[in-house]
Amino acid sequence: MKIAFSKPSLPTEGAIVAGVLEGKALGATARALDEAAGGGLSRAVAASRFEGKKGQSLTILAPAGLDVSRVVLIGLGKAKDMDALAAQAFGGAAVAQLLTSGETGAVLAVDPVEGAPLPETEFAAQAGFGARLRSYRFDKYMTKRKKEDKPSLKRLTVATADAAGAKTFFAVLDKVADGVVLTRDVVSEPANVIHPESLAEVAEGLKDLGVEVEVLGEKQMRKLGMGSLLGVGQGSERESRLVVMRWNGSADKDCAPVAFVGKGVTFDSGGISIKPGAGMEEMKWDMAGAGAVIGAMAAIAGRKAKVNAVGVVGLVENMPSGTAQRPGDVVTSMSGQTIEVINTDAEGRLVLADALWYTQDRFKPRFMVDLATLTGAIVISLGHEYAGLFASDDTLAKRLDAAGKAVGEQLWRLPMGEAYDKQIKSDIADMKNVGGREGGSITAAQFLKRFTNDVAWAHLDIAGMAWSSKDTATCPKGATAFGVRLLDRLVADYCEDKAGQ
Ligand code: BES
Ligand code: MN
Ligand code: ZN
């Protein structure tokens, strides 16, 4: 679907989408349409339960007196709540109504609204962003879909007073959307298509954006002493990979980078501690942390952010086989610390242990943020509303929280501490890889912290957020790309040259 911007004008064909404020207050465009339709729209509104509340919509087909084939009224809620997320939801709702409606073109009217916190031009750009995000489809394997189920909408024109300004603003958001789409694509792909080698190849594609990409194979990782990561992949036919992506966008080439680290388990069968069959197919998206880091790097490079950023993803497939690691095995990590592998299904932390250590050791970053679908326990704690946030640095935690709020990817901070750390003491090695059922997400974070070497660090447990079982305002059900917008925003607000340091 193509998104364009134009000056306000009433279309003579296709669909027109217009906003209505809570309390049935028609916006300027809806009022103009209503007038042309001899009051037909207000009569339709009066006859319905549509009140202009957020999330509501009302479609009027073939309205008498108008040339358009349909008018879609979308509830904007209250003027004071019309922020960037509301704008995205507005654009998303338009697409949800029209994508498979049979319409091929639509105009999305953005009207001036008194008391709205966001300038109209930005509102229009954000609406376009939301529309693009909501139009995402992963349907390449659907060969027999009925015509009426296929997307029909090809063009969405956002009509707004300063169309040129909105277009300029949108161009930046469009790069972020590129990152989101890349992440959703790799997370959606099945594990026979996306495995460590092929995911590394996707990351290598970022070279086109000016990102330096290095791919380390098993031999190199063995040389570096990454026994923890390699142990997870040793049961798989696929070779493990570690991918390093570097974007040098700061004017100061020597400025210490920010670093993002991702768990990339391209399939998590549990290994010898094999998972139950029901739902195991979901573990194709156990690389969503790595996917988000790759997408965030694409966004940051795509919009040429003035920052030095490093993305490191540990890519492995966790399989049971004659060569797989066993419960009870002891592995030595790159840090030199030894780990007793009690449960081969607690593999993400084993991958991140070496990826985190490598990242701080090689790049001496300002801070590290890792993203991982790490524990089922975080889904029990927070459900599908917040990702878990763990941090050794309060400023970083606050900034992540603020960035998450701004983009609608919410985080909830959980505690850490010595008492939890004790739970991963081992009788035979420096630590064990599980700490019991109690506080399972926290002991996982404690484990990771041991590999951060006291660099400012935060860990996002995104197990409950990487995949959505239902459509949301800006995301159809499936892979969400949680973390891409958040990391991009963290960089934009706090890490770029001249930003708040
Ligand atoms: N990838 C899983 C965590 C997960 C569970 C992600 C559900 C998304 C949805 C992780 O590798 C795992 O298996 N964790 C175990 C840890 C346990 C063995 C200590 C878990 O959460 O059960
Ligand atoms: Mn697992
Ligand atoms: Zn896993």
Percent of the chain with pLDDT over 70: 99
List ligand 1's pocket residues with C-beta within 6 A. 268, 286, 343, 345-348, 373-377, 379, 434, 440, 463
Distance CA 339, CA 223 (A): 18
pLDDT digits (tens, 9 = 90+) for 119-176: 999 999 999 999 999 999 999 999 999 999 999 999 999 999 999 999 999 999 999 9
Query: Residue 498's pLDDT band (boundaries 50, 70, 90)?
Result: confident
Six-digit token pair at 350?
């084993």
Measured in Å, residue 269 CA sits from the centre of ligand 2 at: 7
Q: Which atom of ligand 1 is nearest to the CA of 348?
A: 11
Residues, beta carbon < 5 Å, ion ligand 3: 265, 268, 286, 348
| pTM (predicted TM-score) | 0.98
Distance CA 270, CA 294 (A): 24
Q: What is the pLDDT of residue 221?
A: 99
Residue 184: φ, ψ to 5°: -60, -40
Residues, beta carbon < 5 Å, ion ligand 2: 268, 345, 347
pLDDT digits (tens, 9 = 90+) for 385-425: 999 999 999 999 999 999 999 999 999 999 999 999 999 99
Query: Residue 467's pLDDT band (boundaries 50, 70, 90)?
Result: very high
Measured in Å, residue 327 CA sits from the centre of ligand 2 at: 13
Residue 109: φ, ψ to 5°: -85, 125
Residue 500 has pLDDT above 70, yes or no: no
In sequence order, what are the residues at sequence separation of 6 or more whose Cβ sits closer than 8 angstroms to the Cβ of residue 46?
A: none
Residue 499 has pLDDT above 70, yes or no: no
**What's the whole-number mean pLDDT along residues 418-434?**
98
184 is catalytic: no
Q: What is the pLDDT of residue 436?
A: 94
Ligand nearest to the CA of 462: 1
pLDDT digits (tens, 9 = 90+) for 288-306: 999 999 999 999 999 999 9
pLDDT digits (tens, 9 = 90+) for 218-272: 999 999 999 999 999 999 999 999 999 999 999 999 999 999 999 999 999 999 9
449 is catalytic: no
Q: Which atom of ligand 1 is nearest to the CA of 275?
A: 13
Q: Which residues pair with 260 in a beta bridge?
A: 311, 369
Q: What is the mean pLDDT of the chain?
A: 97
Which of 70, 246, 303, 349 is an active site residue?
Answer: 349
Strand-strand pairing, 338-340 and 431-432: parallel
